[in-house]
Structure 1
């Protein structure tokens, strides 16, 4: 739910932190260890296929395997590990933009990938009346004006009088230079400057 203070400013929600504990040792892991004594048993993030290509930052860590093929419960975490949205327990994304937001939030994709996808996404923006064709922004806690936009109608704050659906590219000319806050106060959010969206539109026009 969108929250505002007495000055009608958007208030951020705290973001969840991931705490890497010792991964549970399964029977499959024990069988793998027995087949590979005197080695390391690498634990892969659940979003990746361990039989396919796995980037180094998708390795949670490793257990040593002794000469008898037994796992030594002395887990060595990978300090380069980037937990996936699935590992963090993020909700199942309902569309491409939500999926990308999660990947950007977890550093699996760069933020620069967002503007082109926003242009082709349907967003829900604040409206005082159903037929309103402008967008409305609110002051952030640092004084900036942000235009809130939600990726799903179910995320729209219930206190809003109306929410109208608008294609991202159709919203850009209405922003008057103000940044867009995608899903403010949800678990995964992003603030995208208007100039980045304008640049994405201009990039489309290049041959």
Structure 2
């Protein structure tokens, strides 16, 4: 995630004049003026000399995690897409994805408007049968003739052991084992913590089949 040196604005120079012999910290745009900023939310800092002038020798924070806003990622359509971006930028934990996915509506492949309500799987580049689903119509592959909406929890119950591939054509894709989703659908006594999905990546499913 490459980040450019922040521009020095007029407001920053005014602030520097009021605070000579200090540091002018630059905060990620994800955090508002009154937010409690974690250490990884600081982009870095410019030194301010004895005259209150900004020294244009920016020091990056090695622990900085650029947010979706800083990286200018696409505008999201719903909370689930927003969460995917925050997980991608390490602003949220991967474990947050599973319960959000189960509570969200997803779009799955359909051969036609009157086709049966079964779930269609596809072979990925490794020959593995996976089930693709999309977070919104924007991410539905152009090759799909139709799609239909299904609650995430209902989809999880129909995977029959096949991994779920969320947004198979990106821009952000998550591959989630069926067992991890089913574990969250069991009674609370059968698990203690939410299992983590596999890391975000971009597989390209191809070829149709029914799991």
Which structure would you say has the larger RCO, counting Cα contacts within 8 Å and 6 or more residues apart?
A: 1
Q: Distance in 2 between matches of 1:139 and 1:87?
A: 35
- Aligned pairs for 1:50-69 within 5 A: 50-69=33-52
2:93 to 90, 107, 110: 110
Corresponding residue SS for 1:32: helix
Aligned to 2:172: 188
Q: Tell me the CA shift for residue 79 of structure 1.
A: 1.1
- Aligned pairs for 1:58-97 within 5 A: 58-97=41-80
TM-score by length of 1: 0.86
The CA RMSD measured in Å over matched residues stands at: 1.6
Q: Tell me the CA shift for residue 113 of structure 1.
A: 0.8
Q: Distance in 1 between matches of 2:182 and 2:189?
A: 11
TM-score by length of 2: 0.84
1:46 to 3, 12, 29: 29
Equivalent pairs counted in the alignment come to 189
Could you list the runs of 5+ residues in structure 2 that have no partner in the other structure?
191-211
Quick check: 24-33 or 90-99, which moved more?
A: 90-99
Could you list the runs of 5+ residues in structure 1 that have no partner in the other structure?
1-17
Corresponding residue SS for 1:181: strand
Q: Tell me the CA shift for residue 53 of structure 1.
A: 0.7
Corresponding residue SS for 2:160: coil
Q: Distance in 1 between matches of 2:35 and 2:137?
A: 37
